Amino acid sequence: MPDLIQLLPDSIANQIAAGEVVQRPASAVKELIENSIDAGATHIKLIVKEAGKSLLQVIDNGQGMSETDARMSLERHATSKIRTAEDLFRLRTMGFRGEALASLAAVSQMEIKTRLATEELGTWLVVEGSEVKKQEPVATEKGTSISIKNLFFNIPARRNFLKPNGVEMSHITEEFTRLALAHPHISFSLIQHDELLFDLPFAKLSQRIVNLFGKNYQSQLAPVQEETTLIKISGYIGRPELAKKKRGEQYIFVNHRFIRNNYLGHAIASAYQGLLPENSFPFYALFIEIDPKHIDVNVHPTKTEIKFDDERTVYGIVWSAVKQALGSHNLSPAIDFANDVNLVSKLNTQPLSRDQYYAEQFSTLNKSNLQNWEKMFEQESGTTRLIDSRQTEPKITYRVESSINQPLVSSGPEEDQGLFQYRKKFIVRATRQGIMFIDQQAAHERILFEKYLLHLKGVPGHSQQSLFPQTLTLSAPDFALTMEMEKEILALGFRFELFGKNAILISGMPAEVSGNEKELFEGLIEQFKNQAELHLPLRENLAQALAKRTSIKSGQKLSVEEMESLAAGLFSCPNPNYSPDGKQTFFVLDSSKIENYFLR
């Protein structure tokens, strides 16, 4: 029997590695900029075209590479960071796997120009699908320039899975923001289609935050500072009034590496408890410095997930640091950590470290929280809910526009009997076949989806002018996404114009909806991003997102006229059976089944 197991060719192995490391253009941006940071660059420029699908270029003034190093950088597991297995537990650099350039070269057309400061000429490499097409000397600036052209050109299936340009550009901007926040001592610039989106000089962290998110953050930041024998925490948190109705501006860095950690996120949310309106999320950019031996960064190929060897203690210290920052700025009942009698007595009478103290004190005060934190970490549509019983917000009510629907045509007296609303969720009415139950929210989503889709296909929606235009400051990724979809958003009936850095002035909204313009616009962008994984075309995604945000909700009481209008609108749709996301809109309880209950 012939042997079955064989070694993969390098080109295929690199493509497999690329599947782990490079999921989208933003992944390539992360890997390239991290390499520039590790090379000691003080200025990094990112150039993007077509949301990175046609070009991603990172230019730095770092130390550059020799001709041999440039060629070796394209080999798998070639790295300057690791010599022994123990080095894995002493890492303080951004990249270390030695797969990034090799993986990118396997799925793109790559050009590398690099020069050492001590050399007169640099090296020019042209690589296509892992195959080196050209290598020759070149006159170039000190540092390195890497161009990634036509990402996934040789893997059409992967390229087809990329999202619309607006979504991909928002991911790129978010990755750029994280790296720029983590390294304020480096100047960054971002150019999209020859337009300068960001020009960030090196600065203090507070100034970097203002340059990234806008001047209104200048007076809304509270510093966080705490140091123990285990970890050091620094950074800024936003005042409660800066909180937004959506996630996105929460950043935790460990040894200057952005991480995702729900456990620490919950610690920060707990510290804010009682200060925020319902479904609001505060800004924070917190930096944790810890000896690398206490963490494992090798959990996931993208290195955004890590493990602490003592998560409970880290949780307690983070909670305490944020609570103290809030208290010192008169945002919550003050906690006098400096004069804590228990702390002094414990430190004087027991060989107890401050880290152990935080863990023990937090455990004592919040024992049930630590033991059952997963239960407290309520998930609703992917967001954490913080409830403040003292603050309530007016509910936004949306009514069905009667002029767009025809009155329900009655086919007999029987159909007009028994129309009512059941549990404020379902519309119930008698029909010739039996009793019909209509899900009011799913039905209205279908009606609005068809209407908005019509607007996006060439019949622009009417707009109602705002008496008092509102200014909305967006995060950099959301602003990039808004600009990419500007034409489609205007077609829906919104009216807005640029109003400063990452800000727009909303002067009109679709005629058929009412409510707060800022909340509706923010909700539309957030819903659109939440649906991005569905791989819908841009128009369908946008129409579905707005339909979800403006539809009648379960629990909303309807008048008889509204119920009639909604039923008529539903059955005038091309596909009345299902909502845009596939939920059944109605069903009929057949008369024969009803009679069977009575043995007739």
d(CA 320, CA 595): 65
Instruction: Indicate the pTM of the whole model.
Output: 0.67
> Which pLDDT belongs to residue 286?
96
CA-to-CA dists, residue 250 to 376, 403, 503, 528, angstroms: 19, 43, 19, 19
Instruction: Decide: 273 and 365 in contact? Cβ < 8 Å.
Output: no
> Which pLDDT belongs to residue 413?
37
Strands of the sheet with 221-227, listed across from one edge: 221-227, 231-238, 284-290, 250-254, 257-259
> Which pLDDT belongs to residue 407?
41
> Which pLDDT belongs to residue 13?
64
> Which pLDDT belongs to residue 584?
92
State both tokens at 198.
Answer: 């960001």
Q: What sign for the dihedral angle of Cα 410, 414, 419, 422?
A: negative
Q: What DSSP state is assigned to residue 26?
A: H
Instruction: Decide: 66 and 115 in contact? Cβ < 8 Å.
Output: no
Residue found by looking up tokens 């033991």 in the block: 371
Over residues 458-482, the pLDDT tens digits come to 887 888 888 889 999 888 888 888 9
d(CA 30, CA 170): 14
Instruction: Decide: 516 and 396 in contact? Cβ < 8 Å.
Output: yes
> Which pLDDT belongs to residue 344?
33
d(CA 578, CA 585): 5
Beta strands (DSSP E) in 228-297 are 231-238, 250-254, 257-259, 284-290, 295-296
The vertex-594 CA angle with 593 and 597, nearest 5°, equals 90
Radius of gyration of the CA atoms of the chain, in A: 28
Domains and CATH numbers, the chain: 10-202 (3.30.565.10), 206-384 (3.30.230.10), 402-588 (3.30.1370.100)
Nearest to 80 by CA among 60, 62, 107: 62
CA-to-CA dists, residue 548 to 235, 421, 569, 573, 580, angstroms: 36, 21, 16, 17, 9
Q: What is the pLDDT along the chain (600 residues), one digit of tens a residue?
A: 567 676 666 666 665 655 556 889 999 999 999 999 999 999 999 999 999 999 999 999 999 999 999 988 888 655 555 445 555 555 555 554 446 888 888 889 999 999 999 999 999 999 998 889 999 999 999 999 999 999 998 888 888 888 888 889 989 999 999 999 999 999 999 999 888 889 999 999 999 999 998 888 888 899 999 999 999 999 999 988 888 877 778 999 999 999 988 889 999 999 998 888 777 889 999 999 999 888 876 655 556 778 888 889 999 999 999 999 988 876 554 344 443 333 333 334 444 555 555 555 555 444 444 444 444 444 443 443 333 434 444 444 444 443 333 444 433 334 445 689 899 999 998 888 889 999 999 999 999 999 999 999 888 788 888 888 999 988 888 888 898 889 999 999 999 998 887 889 999 989 878 778 888 898 888 888 877 766 778 888 899 999 998 899 888 999 988 999 999 999 999 889 999 988 899 989 988 888 888 876
> Which pLDDT belongs to residue 428?
93
